[in-house]
Amino acid sequence: MKRFILVISFLALTFTMGAQQARQYVTPYAEPDHQDWVYKCGETAQVKIYAICENRMMPNVEIKYSYGPEKLKANFEGSVITGKDGYATIKVPGRREPGFTTIRTSIDVNGKNYTGMTNLGYEPYNIKPTTSLPDDFTEFWEGAKAKAAEVPMVTKIRRDDNQSTPTVDVYYVKIQSYRRGNYVYGVLSVPTEAKYRNADGKMPAVLRLPGATVRAFNGPNDLASRGFIVLEIGVHGIPVDQDPEIYGALVGGSLSGYATMGLDSRDTFYYKRVYMGCIRAIDYLCSREDVDTDRIAVYGGSQGGMLSIVTASLDKRVKAMVCQFPAFCDVTGYYYGRSGGWPHLFIDKKEPNIEARINTSKYYDVVNFARFLTIPGYYAWGFNDIVCCPSSTFSAYNVITSPKRLEISRDSGHWLYPWFVEEGIKWLKNEFKMEE
């Protein structure tokens, strides 16, 4: 029987990040006078405030607005009445330091409230991280990798006839990782068409890394239709082909809040096993006779973007990366009075054992892995992302010294328009010298 796939958003269910609507009947806007939404520090922004209903500006309506530092309490609230042309203009004072100012708008129509937001960037390419690099960062991770490498890579692979197609074979894989009895589970999609193979019969491969979810995975992966062998893994050490009820129970039970489990110590933090599992997935790809080990990439968004940077930093067998709105960037931001990355830690400076938890975070923060990247990367995110906010993602991007390309989708939140995704795939194929 064909298995139904339940996609459970861990972000929404466990951290209540707030859903971002793609379209409302009425949408209030704050339109910056700079087309790129970017300003110099100290520069005042002239901003049009208006609301769109059925593709028309609404004249003579009241729109409330506020502005202040990204993700933090607004430092000004007010309201305007739109004129006969349907808009009003306000001035937003410039930030003193690089970062983002959030303008929030709202309007009440027929008893319903509609909201909008716009993030203004102030010298975003000059944003510096608040986190710092531990002196023994490299030593710690080299030691972790060496210990994990001692564990035999016992694998089990099963072809799924129902999901396989004439052009892609689909397999479920189980790979021992990190310690004996611990496994990485995933779905492997292998193109069958000879045109994708080189003279040695090998193909490029992608390790597809997941967002913050607890769910099943199925195939064939869309990248396989573009000529890549794709291994898409889960990160929780549980099979990825189970009934939906199992994942729902895990979200509400033992995996609730997993992104902060064990944070009191760098040796017990949840993501240590996850990071090592990503390395083991690369081990598996390199063990396959049909994989061109000179053309291995990582690909992911949100938690998957986080894991892409980490894996590419720790494992030099990775040759290219596509990274979208990475999580866990500069997570100490809130502690120092500005926004931080998902999962939004250290907001309460009086939380128990906070110094130890901050110290642990430094060994896992994407910023510190980004410092050691040596491969080319394609990056993409939006200014209006409230989950992996741009102050955090720019903190990581700005420390990268290897070849990099960033595409900004200014009005998108924790999502990207399809053409940004397509451009990332084209970029990767070009890096690997692949034909369409």
Give catalytic residue positions: 302, 385, 414
Is residue 187 classed exposed, middle or buried when 0-12, 13-18 and 19+ CB atoms within 10 A define those classes? buried
Report the first-to-last Cα separation within the chain, whole angstroms.
Answer: 35
Measured at the CA of 129, the angle between CA 125 and CA 130, to 5 degrees, comes to 150
User: Residue 231's closest CA among 314, 169, 180?
Assistant: 169
Peptide bond into 244 cis (omega under 30): no
Between CA 46 and CA 32 the distance in angstroms is: 6
User: Residue 301's closest CA among 382, 210, 232?
Assistant: 210
State both tokens at 225. 């239709």
Between CA 258 and CA 260 the distance in angstroms is: 5
Between CA 47 and CA 104 the distance in angstroms is: 12
Radius of gyration from C-alpha coordinates of the chain: 23
Torsion of CA 238, 7, 218, 419, to 10 degrees: -130
Between CA 201 and CA 194 the distance in angstroms is: 8
